[in-house]
Structure formats: structure tokens, C-alpha cells
Amino acid sequence: MIWQNWGRTESASPASVLTPVSEDGVAAAIETARETGTTVKAVGAGHSFSGIAVPGETMLDLTNMRGLVRIDDLDATFRAGTHLYEIPAWLEPHGLAMANLGDIDRQTLAGATSTGTHGTGVTFGGISTQITRLRLVTGRCEEREITDPTELQAAALGLGALGIVTEITVRCVPAFSIEASEQPAKVGDVLGRLREEIETNDHFEFYWFPHTEAALTKRNKRLSGLVEPSGPSKFRRYVDDELLSNKLFGGLCRVSARFPNAVPTINKVSGNALSGRTFVDASAAVFASERKVRFREMEYAVPLEKLGEAFDGVRKLIADKGYRVSFPIEVRAAAADDLMLSTASGRTSGYVAVHRYFRDEPDDYFRDVEEVMMNLGGRPHWGKMHTRDADYLREVYPRFDEFCAVRDRLDPDRIFRNPYLDRVLGDDR
């Protein structure tokens, strides 16, 4: 076994691992695969929980294709293997920042955008919506710049199915700070004002601790420009996060995995220990935090107006079925966008994410959550665990067949296929 993902849900032993340094090197790998009738898969940081990144015969590691290519006004072009955590240092001298980010920054730019990685904020789309152009090598071995708007609506969130992406241009914004406010609350109160919270805050999200009334709310306010950091320092926040969110929480998860019946009590103690904090820092430092406790995750997007129903459905099934869930449930929102396979394609969306500590005994929790989400027209995150196939996905994505048509043009011989893509896009050739 050569490759495994962060969540330890997938692993693979590809026959060869290549680390190209240039687009021509990528093209050469694809040419060889064409000649030998084999497949090629680029992997990013392995942070997808689904099998989307699982390589077959040839695995491409783009570690040697990282860094800034050029800045053109607000547009910054990066090589596709650049990690999100590397980007702020490249943008800082130009007074720029990425408009929005997810919870962590360990992913590669190509990996994050290929699966529709998103943060929260009802007027902000996922990271793929920031893409203005990209370069890729198609399954026909063509080295192409994608600028055509319709083709870009497929390729900016391409599931790794259209080509090996070599460069990505993102539209940045002038660097800005965020005033972050994290506050404990009662989950009933949060739900009562959920729509208002989502609509009046730039970025709102909350975590609910199952088996308790405890929630942690996070409100991020965008400030105009960069201002002096204030509140607990980055170091202090790191220590708090390290001790509470990583070390202590990790210990509690280990105990919970061994003694599931103790979970409600443990969650009550965790919920009671929540405390508030407010601080100001540069945007990237606020958006991303470290996750050291290993978990598995499923996340579904539903139309925003159904978010409360989706959350209540999960809460009810935990109670009804007696599941013991140690991990908080995360609720977020995002703007509608025009990308063919974005979870927010054509609809303003609310997100419910459920997690399991990676050592928890497997049970039907995720399957039951999926049932709730399917009844609400839910769309699964492409990089997180789900069981949906092409028949279901075609129903919930109006532009599904348009995407498949772009795939037929760019990868007619299915050089980039793997079992996950066969399932979600249809094993048609």
C-alpha cells in the first residue's frame, strides 16, 4: 500500500508514482497511459474522505508543481499542486487575499477546487467560484487553457474527471482582516434565529454537541482592509485549540470509542466547558484551523430554506435510533453559483456535516443521515463519504448531463476514471 487518505477510509497501491515538474511531464504520463490502455489519477493532499482521489495504475503527485506563476491585477495564477496554506505568503506582498476559505488549509488548490471545497457565508461561493481560468492536460493529451465560460463551469469543479489541472487562476480581493466571535449558545435559540444569523453575518456557522443543548456559534465579520490583530494572540489561540480542540477532544473521542454509553455525559461536560472569545486577525488566519483528531465525514447541501428541517431530521434520528455521536455537527451556508456540479449549483444552500471519530465502530449513522438528506433533495459533498450514484445525482443536478458532455470531449477514453467516478458519473464506456 503506497497511498492512503487522511480519514483512513481509502488506500491504494498504484503500479507507478510520478512526480512531474512541468505540464509536458504531465502530458507524457497521459501519453503513456493512452498507449498502454491504463489510467492516471492526480492526488492532492489526500484530504477527501470519498474514493474520488483513489489512483489506479499511475498516480501523479504534483508536489513539484507548486507556487505562484503570476499576478495580474486581482487575478493570481498558481501551479495546481500549491497547498492552500502556502497561498497567503504569496499574496501578502501584493496586498491580496482569497475571498473565502474552508475550515482547514492543508489541501492543494487543485484538490480543493476539484471537489467543491467551501466555507460558509451566504453571499460567498466555494473556492471553485473564485476561479477565472485554468490550464489542464486533457485525456486526449492536449495542453489547454480553459477560458470558455461554459467549459470553465465544468472544469473549475471537475472531480478530477476532465484532465490533470496544471495551473489555476483565482480572482482575489484586497487583503482584509476578520473580527471573529465564537460564543456558546443553546441550540434551540440558534435554530430560532438561524435564517437571520445566516443573512446578517458575513460568515455564520454553528456546531451542535449531540445529546446536549449546547452549541458553539461562529460569526465572522469582514473588516475593510488589514487592521492590527487584537484579542487572544495567534499563539494563545493555537495553545487553546491545541489543548481543547485537539488534545483534550482527541482523548475524549478515544474514551467515547471504547465506552459509547459514556458519550452523552462526555458531550455534556464538553458543552458546559465551552467559552466565548473574540479576536481580530488576517482573513486566512481566521478561516483555517488545525484538525489533528482524525475523523470521517459526510456532508450534504440542501436548499437553504430546508436547512432547519435537515438539521432537525439528524437530531431526531440520533435520539430515535440511539446513536452515540461524540463529534459535533457542523452547519454552514453558501451562495448559489453557476458551476455545473457545485453543491450550490443554481441554489442558495445550507450544509449539514456529520462526523465520526475514525476509531468508532461502524454503524448505520451516516446511512440514516443520508436518507434524511435525500428526502430534501440533498447533494453530497464530492470529497466526503456518501453512497449516491449517477441515477440519483442526475436528478439533483440539473446540469449533470452537460458536465458529462464536457467529459466526453475532454476525456473520451476515460484515462482519469476510477471506481468512484464510475459510480457517480455512470460507468458508461
Ligand X SMILES: Cc1cc2nc3c(=O)[nH]c(=O)nc-3n(C[C@H](O)[C@H](O)[C@H](O)COP(=O)(O)OP(=O)(O)OC[C@H]3O[C@@H](n4cnc5c(N)ncnc54)[C@H](O)[C@@H]3O)c2cc1C
Could you list the residues that contact ligand X (CB under 6 A)? 6-7, 41-48, 52-53, 62, 80, 102-104, 107-108, 110-112, 114-115, 117-118, 159-160, 164-165, 291, 381, 383
Residue 145 β-bridge partners: 135
| Residue number with CB closer to ligand X (40 or 212) | 40
Cα 149 from chain centroid? 23
| Residue number with CB closer to ligand X (47 or 237) | 47
Q: Least distance in Å: CB of 394 to ligand X? A: 19
| Residue number with CB closer to ligand X (108 or 349) | 108
| Residue number with CB closer to ligand X (212 or 379) | 379
Helices (H) and strands (E) in the chain, counts: 15, 20
Q: Least distance in Å: CB of 56 to ligand X? A: 11
Q: Least distance in Å: CB of 188 to ligand X? A: 25
Q: What is the pairing mode between strands 173-174 and 349-357? A: unpaired
CB 282 within 8 A of CB 230: no
In the DSSP assignment, the letter for residue 90 is: H
d(CA 176, CA 28): 41
Q: Least distance in Å: CB of 153 to ligand X? A: 16
Helices assigned H by DSSP within 241-322: 249-258, 263-272, 283-287, 307-321
d(CA 254, CA 117): 28
Q: Least distance in Å: CB of 326 to ligand X? A: 16
d(CA 250, CA 293): 5
| Residue number with CB closer to ligand X (104 or 286) | 104
Residues in the chain: 429
The grid coordinates listed for 283 are 482573513
| Residue number with CB closer to ligand X (7 or 56) | 7
Q: Least distance in Å: CB of 228 to ligand X? A: 27
Cα→Cα distances 171→130, 283, 314, Å: 5, 16, 36
| Residue number with CB closer to ligand X (300 or 365) | 300
Q: Least distance in Å: CB of 409 to ligand X? A: 16
Cα→Cα distances 401→325, 341, 378, Å: 37, 10, 18
CB 95 within 8 A of CB 74: no
Grid cell 435554530 in the structure block, residue: 191
Estimate the crossing angle of helix 365-374 against helix 307-321, to 10 degrees: 150
Q: Least distance in Å: CB of 262 to ligand X? A: 25
| Residue number with CB closer to ligand X (74 or 86) | 86
Residue 356 β-bridge partners: 296
